[in-house]
Chain A
Amino acid sequence: MFSSAASLVRSADKIASPPRVFQKVNQIVNDPNSTTEDIARVIGEDAGITLRLLRVVNSAFFGYNQKIESLDQAVMALGTSQVRDLVLATTVAEKFEGLPEDLISMESFWQHSLACGVMARSLAQAGRQINLEPFFLGGMLHDVGRLVMLFRMPEKCRLIVTRCQQTGEMMHVVEREVFGYDHAEVGGCLLNTWGLPPHLEEAVASHHLPPRAVRNPLLTALVHIADVMVNALKLGNSGNLVVPRLSAAAWSRYGMAATILHGVVEQMDVQYRAFLRAVDMKYPG
């Protein structure tokens, strides 16, 4: 047993660093002397990532009118930080390959994660936000802490999953009771270790307690709402069989009428299907 979320994350060497290509791209983005060509070159060294990235960029998820043929064009169209975020979103799953799948299927876990990312982005778009990327990435990464727990404490996690299936309790509540911390906190620690920006760390760490957020309360609120929605719609599954309780404070932070949801879900569904196709994943269900 680990006494805190931080000590749990420290114990896991295998995941102590972020995905390799993301790490390289991140260094370049943060280097004022680098150019867009440098980014395209580093990504281009990995043919698999290049192909996946171009397919996502050309899908209805972004909905560009013109075909984007090369990484150079993609960096020009999306900007360096958006490309970096997309590299992380499309490579993070590799970091957790080989986990036992008897408790949570990895396919279902990433279907849930991607759905949450696309939903948070769609909510932000409906709420007239300009920079949509943090919403997507925050949603995509919100539950990675659960994988760390599964990786380091499989037996305890098994008991928790079974108990929640029987009682209908919310999993983060039971995690807190058993470990003293929950997967959200663990996810926040992991993103901190990976050197991701504090507002993203906060959104992941507080997605079950959105009023706690101070850096970017809207980001945290929309990741929380998106998580509630995709659990309700059963788009993939990260372990929960019940819909987490919606925070009224998060919804009032969003400030929209409930009637906006119908359009948000419709738009999300189109973008979600397009993204899944681009990365060779199946639509859940």
Chain B
Amino acid sequence: MGHGHSSHAVKKKELVEQDVRERSYVPELLKGLAITTRHFLKNLFVERDPNPQVVDREGSHVTTVQYPEEKIPYPPGYRGLHRLVPREDGQPRCVACYMCATICPAQCIYIEAGEYSQDDAAAESRVIEKYPKQFVIDELRCIVCGLCVDACPKDAIRMDTYTHTPSGETRQSFVWDIPRLLQGPPVSHPSDPWYKRGNSEQPDDSHKEAHTRVGEGLHLGGGNKSVEIDTSKPVAVTKFLKG
């Protein structure tokens, strides 16, 4: 393959000239009518194939999807609604490091960190310092770019819910806090620091940070799990300014 230096000029004849036959409208008219008729007849008499993979559809040309009844499955890696990934014990994996809140171009993530106290008897307090007291995503501001997922060092935020942000009637209902965000199957990595017990067999160097690709992991399937929204107590959101 070499450097290409060529051009394909559309011929002048293609652009302006018509003979009498073409000037009469009839041949092109018939050609156009033939196309629409072919579509019409094929769509009328051939059964519609509801295969969500439109390319693979056989028979009828109908390519539309009857949306609420039929849904095209999202491909793996689809960037959907956020979720906070739970640990096996149901707590969020998030360690309140603010990486996602900082990278977010829309500044839609608000985190308030809480610190484990030194005398906390829980095992995790020995290996992680912080946890999110508040973790709020304003889904109306979110531009679904997935940078937060890329930035998270703990695989704690993912967009693999395979659903959109559900509609709401108030702006406040689009502000998702921990109880609503914390959903989906728990994820654990061998490197998770909270597995590192004092007498752990695992070598220290295996405790690398978990890097995940957007959408890696489990497919939750279609519908969004219904989440109880306590409308009586709106989530307090504090807007914050960056840098």
Are A and B associated in one complex? no
Please report B residues at the A interface, Cβ cutoff 8 Å: none
